[in-house]
Amino acid sequence: MTLHRVVESETFTWLDVVAPSRLDLQELARLYDLEPTVVEDCLDPEHLPKHEKFGDATFLIFRTHDDSAPEDASSIQEQTRKVAMFFRPGFALTVHRVDLHEVRSLRERFHGSAEPCTLSLLLFGLGNNVLLSYEKPLEQAELTLDAFEEALFGGGAPPSLEKAHDLKRRVSLMRRILWQTGQVVNKLVPPAERIEPLYQDVRESVDALLFMADQLLDEANNLQQVHLAVASHRNNEVMRVLTVFSAFFLPLTFIVGVYGMNFLFMPELSRPWGYPAVLALMVAVSAGIFVWFRRRGWLGG
């Protein structure tokens, strides 16, 4: 366990704990009079953003986007990292398994700084940093969608439905986390106090990112529908070409089949002009089919 005593003053104390064990958390709960059962939640990687109150203490969980997550990450646990926080008036304790940039930047901002650190600054600073971690992956998802659309309509190799679905799933997971984070932020501030600039800043970030995620989900859904429509259209084009060839060769095959039966008394079988006559008939049938298809617009022109 690594314990950072970031701020220790008469009015406010902030402790930041990285990679604690279960025994470490139990000792912290005893020292700072924290609810033991809630402290156990710090070690559970499955928890989503939440807000709980226990007497004068409050327990929060944020989930920040993990930049090192693989592109095929299919769950919230694979795509995000958890940050837990306990606070009461004049005291805050943050707990996380790895040293996250979102927390480290706040440590560097307030540790040994002349700027006073208050509980509000810490809460909303952490909330803002967590939200900003989703800005880059959402922008990357937007660029990926644009590239998919360009490939789909630009004649290049279209993206596979699997890749489009993976992108949609990642954006959907991010939207879910953003929505729950917004609910946590709302619970931090009573309705009567929501004119506070710090709250407004975080609320605007939540709304902007949720709007972006909603747009990307709509675009991903539209891309899947267009992908299916384009694939269906291409299949129809292939079937049309095959049908045209079949229409040309079906009557010719019939004629060849009739004259290939080799009966002794077939019409024109013994006449010298019989063979070229049949060839001329086949050309005439093909020309007639061509003209008919052309007039009906079945040949693409």
Residue 300 scores a pLDDT above 70: no
Q: Which residue has the higher pLDDT, 261 or 83?
A: 83
| Residues linked to residue 2 through DSSP beta bridges, in sequence order | 18
| Residues linked to residue 59 through DSSP beta bridges, in sequence order | 52, 86
Q: Tell me what the mean pLDDT of segment 189-210 comes to.
A: 78
What are all long-range contacts of 191-199, with beta carbons under 8 Å and residues at least 24 apart?
196/120, 198/120, 198/121, 198/124, 199/124
> What is the structure's pLDDT at 211?
92
pTM given for the model: 0.73
- For the chain, list the domains and their CATH numbers: 1-131 (3.30.460.20), 238-295 (1.20.58.340)
Mean per-residue pLDDT over the chain, rounded = 81
Q: Which residue has the higher pLDDT, 105 or 266?
A: 105
Lowest mean pLDDT among 54-68, 116-130, 154-168: 154-168
What are all long-range contacts of 212-216, with beta carbons under 8 Å and residues at least 24 apart?
212/138, 212/142, 213/138, 213/171, 213/174, 213/175, 213/178, 214/175, 216/138, 216/141, 216/142, 216/145, 216/171
Cα 285 to Cα 258, 264, 276: the distances in Å are 15, 26, 14
Q: Which residues contact 274 (CB under 8 A, 6 or more apart)?
A: 268
**pLDDT digits over 43-91, tens only?**
777 788 888 888 888 888 899 998 887 777 778 888 888 898 888 888 8
> What is the structure's pLDDT at 134?
92
